[in-house]
Structure 1
Amino acid sequence: MRSTQRVAISVAVVGLVTAGLSSCSASSGGSSGGSKTLNVLMVNNPQMEALKKVTPEFTKATGIKVNFKDLPENDLRSTAATEFAQQAGQYDLATLSNFEIPIYAKKGWVADLTKDTTDAKSTWNGQSFDQSDILKPMAESLTVNNKIYGEPFYGESSFLMYRKDLFKAAGLTMPANPTWQQVAGFAAKLKKGSTAGICLRGAVGWGEVMAPLTTVVNTFGGTWFDKDWNAQVNTGGFAKATNFYVDLVKKYGEPGAAQAGFTECDNAMIQGQAAMWYDATSAAGTLVSSKYGSDIGYAPAPVDQTKSSGWLYTWAWGVESASKKKDAAWKFISWASGKDYLSTVGGRTGTGMGWANVPAGARTSLYSNPNYLKVASSFAQPTLAAINSADPNNTGRTNHPPVPGIQFVDVAEFTDFGQKVSQEISNAIAGSTSVSSALNASQSIAQDGVKAYKK
């Protein structure tokens, strides 16, 4: 994901901050504008591109202009880390995830939005924001000590996508709640010629290969650390899950799996080069309009020892504590994360518009909206079920540290040690090292990464 004066920064965030010290400057567009202008730091995902297209309507209704600085995910994360840690004031709000917001809230870097959510007069249109309509897991992931610090723009969990026509041709039936062992068996029978039995991320990145892999670790009874912050990477469920994952993708996965991430697997499904894909629920919006869209089915995230194993992720709006335009920032949030915004995008045609492309995974009411269900009937309920079954505070069968997170460990250092471990796992998928060697190296990396917590 992505000043000249240094400030004292605690060890818990130094890894986030130092990566982006040179990423932002006054010339970036973040410091311009008067009292009626908001400066927004934003990830450049497709949903945000659609947002930019319709923002003039918000400006017309409120008189508030919006300057966007949109960056690739990794650049956004490093720039936001610097901006919020230093409270530089170049931006009023930013797209932050449920990884950053709990960390930033505890540091006092993001503003408390709790009162705004209950004050209809503070919204852009004078109507209720309806916080109760925000999906509970999303709301909880952005809440710290019963205070709301972020509002989701869109969110996701994970599930298994599969080609129903290929299953039928092979005489296979997808169970209502598949296990990973069953999935491996299916992949072996479905791999034929240039068609992979399953596509799984193998690319380097704590948000790439480590996202799906960590959910497999959870359901295999593993954990990154025990409750005393002792690393558990080369033992127990973590080791079992990693051996299983690497073996599965090497035997029956896509070619070049060590370089494959979300985009590559998405393309493989769209082009008919994979029979199954375990990944984000947000992928369904692109698959449904593809050549094989009507042939794609959706099943819950595969499990082993747990009842569910899907992840939880959201890009959400967080207001910088140093912003002097908090009222205007909330008006923008109440519009962009409000119910009316869904109709604004859903009712349009063109690139990034239409009901298949609305920012899903944030509001409960979307999943009973007939306009949305016309295009999303095949994946709407599986998506809703996946999100509602995700519990960041209870990820598996093993004791773990008192921090939330399903596909990540919600401490700032994870961006560093998670990235390094991902390199080791990707090397194992590529065949340049063994899984045991990768896990032994990762054990030391992980333990070193949390040494401050053990003290």
Structure 2
Amino acid sequence: MIRVVSTAMASALALAVSGAAFAEGHSKTLTIATVNNGDMIRMQGLTEDFTAKNPDIALEWVTLEENVLRQRVTQDISAKGGQFDVMTIGTYEVPIWGKNGWLVSLNDLPAEWDADDILPAIRGGLTVDGELYAAPFYGESSMVMYRKDLMEKAGMEMPDAPTWGDIAKAAEAMTDKDAEVYGICLRGKAGWGENMAFLTAMSNSFGAKWFDADWKPQFDGDAWKTTLTTYMDLMNNYGPPGASTNGFNENLSLFQQGKCGMWIDATVAASFVTNPKDSTVADKVGFALAPDNGLGKRGNWLWAWSLAIPAGTDAEDAAKKFIAWATSKEYTALVAEKEGWANVPPGTRSSLYENAEYQKVPFAEMTLNSINSADPTKPTVDDVPYTGVQFVAIPEFAGIATQVGQEFSAALAGQQSIDEALAKAQALTTEEMEAAGY
């Protein structure tokens, strides 16, 4: 995604500068914090549609890498800093921040916005005590994206519902390091929403869990060791060099350049790997559900990047107008008109998956099936005291998982063993949870 991001970032900078100039003489300026993912960048490029309809509202953008965005918006809202009028936040933050009274309810968005059209799994994750606290811009699970040509060359077929054993065999068969083709690309960059999102979801399929019923950490159990060992074996044998620094955007770029046989990551990436403008393998990509291990749980997550309004903003009405525009059916139609149906924000509305044109998109059905197969209320094989598939929905999780992610990334970089990483994860999680009173 090197060309996509560089072009998009230039566009975002131009929009930010023009937004600052545009603010003069207008009654309200919205400062919007967002992530540098492709769908968000595309949205920035289409905001002339919004400003034409709302000439009294100017837009200023703060576009940040995922880990940095999370840090900035969390610091700002917890300190009531007031830097932003609209924040791009995820399914982890919404229920916690909503309960804290940090977010504005969106229950009063216009009737034509049609809240009932939001997919139940996505809407439920953004609702607290009947109040919708964020509007989903796009929803996602995770799935396998793979090179059909390389599978055919290897004389193999990818099942629609593969096991981790299937993934290992395919990764081995597709790896050709002399040609700089690596059988599998997975997140290695440290971060609770980077490598730990992937590894937590993966661990669910191996019967692992973060905590038992008494909130005792479980990194010293066999299931986590099997998870991390499987991950390390895949990456060390069939992954690209420098994988410990690769997150979503880095792996997207590798896949688009034809350097990955498989990539297990967010379903939203499907439109980018199949876009011939950006991907050299656009016509060669197949899709499958995230792998399982025969225990009844797949290694896929459930997430939505959503737009929310911090409590205390002096631009609440303008912010609601923007959010209603950016997450509407009309915005979906605008993207379809400008960029094609394959590039509309996925995973939020039932009506999208009922649309005959969208049903022709090759990854539409697999995306919906992946979203529907994730259950945040029962994320693990065993019963646990928490909700959340690739995260634990408690305030302490982000800090703890960031530290754990650093240990696991260090192991992937060869700086410590699997056993050392797990022991450190167990110790630091235990310490933090006891300090928090669990």
What is the TM-score normalised by the length of structure 2? Answer: 0.88
Return the alpha-carbon distance in structure 2 between the equivalents of residues 268 and 88 of structure 1. Answer: 38
Q: In structure 2, do the counterparts of structure 1 residues 263 and 64 end up closer, same or farther at CA, with 3 Å as the change threshold?
A: same
Instruction: Report what 2:286 is aligned to.
Output: 297
Name which of 388, 391, 400 aligns with 1:417.
Answer: 400
Return the alpha-carbon distance in structure 2 between the equivalents of residues 74 and 249 of structure 1. Answer: 22
What SS does the corresponding residue of 2:176 show, helix, strand or coil? coil
8 Å contact 1:301–1:310 — kept in the other structure? yes
Q: In structure 2, do the counterparts of structure 1 residues 86 and 419 end up closer, same or farther at CA, with 3 Å as the change threshold?
A: closer
Q: In structure 2, do the counterparts of structure 1 residues 141 and 277 end up closer, same or farther at CA, with 3 Å as the change threshold?
A: same
Instruction: Report what 2:58 is aligned to.
Output: 66
Deviations 1:83-116 (CA, angstroms, capped at 9, x unpaired): 32233434322111111111111110001222x1
Return the alpha-carbon distance in structure 2 between the equivalents of residues 90 and 265 of structure 1. Answer: 31
Return the alpha-carbon distance in structure 2 between the equivalents of residues 397 and 365 of structure 1. Answer: 32
8 Å contact 1:58–1:64 — kept in the other structure? no
Structure 1 vs Structure 2 CA RMSD: 2.1
What SS does the corresponding residue of 2:113 show, helix, strand or coil? coil
Cα distance, 1:158 vs structure 2: 0.2
8 Å contact 1:373–1:380 — kept in the other structure? yes
Show the 5 A alignment for 1:55-454: 55-72=47-64, 73-114=66-107, 116-117=108-109, 119-120=110-111, 128-193=112-177, 194-289=180-275, 290-304=279-293, 305-348=295-338, 353-374=339-360, 377-402=361-386, 404-454=387-437
What is the TM-score normalised by the length of structure 1? Answer: 0.84
Cα distance, 1:201 vs structure 2: 1.6
Structure 1, gaps ≥5 residues long: 1-27, 121-127
Cα distance, 1:48 vs structure 2: 2.4
Structure 2, gaps ≥5 residues long: 1-18
8 Å contact 1:136–1:388 — kept in the other structure? no
Q: In structure 2, do the counterparts of structure 1 residues 185 and 454 end up closer, same or farther at CA, with 3 Å as the change threshold?
A: farther
Return the alpha-carbon distance in structure 1 between the equivalents of residues 90 and 343 of structure 2. Answer: 20
Q: In structure 2, do the counterparts of structure 1 residues 204 and 369 end up closer, same or farther at CA, with 3 Å as the change threshold?
A: same
Cα distance, 1:159 vs structure 2: 0.2
8 Å contact 2:106–2:131 — kept in the other structure? yes
| Aligned positions, number | 410
Percent of matched pairs sharing the same residue: 40
Q: In structure 2, do the counterparts of structure 1 residues 369 and 255 end up closer, same or farther at CA, with 3 Å as the change threshold?
A: same
What SS does the corresponding residue of 2:47 show, helix, strand or coil? helix
Q: In structure 2, do the counterparts of structure 1 residues 90 and 189 end up closer, same or farther at CA, with 3 Å as the change threshold?
A: closer
Deviations 1:252-291 (CA, angstroms, capped at 9, x unpaired): 2222222222223222222222211111111111111223
Cα distance, 1:452 vs structure 2: 4.2
8 Å contact 2:204–2:298 — kept in the other structure? no
Q: In structure 2, do the counterparts of structure 1 residues 141 and 66 end up closer, same or farther at CA, with 3 Å as the change threshold?
A: farther
Cα distance, 1:63 vs structure 2: 3.8
Return the alpha-carbon distance in structure 1 between the equivalents of residues 220 and 280 of structure 2. Answer: 42
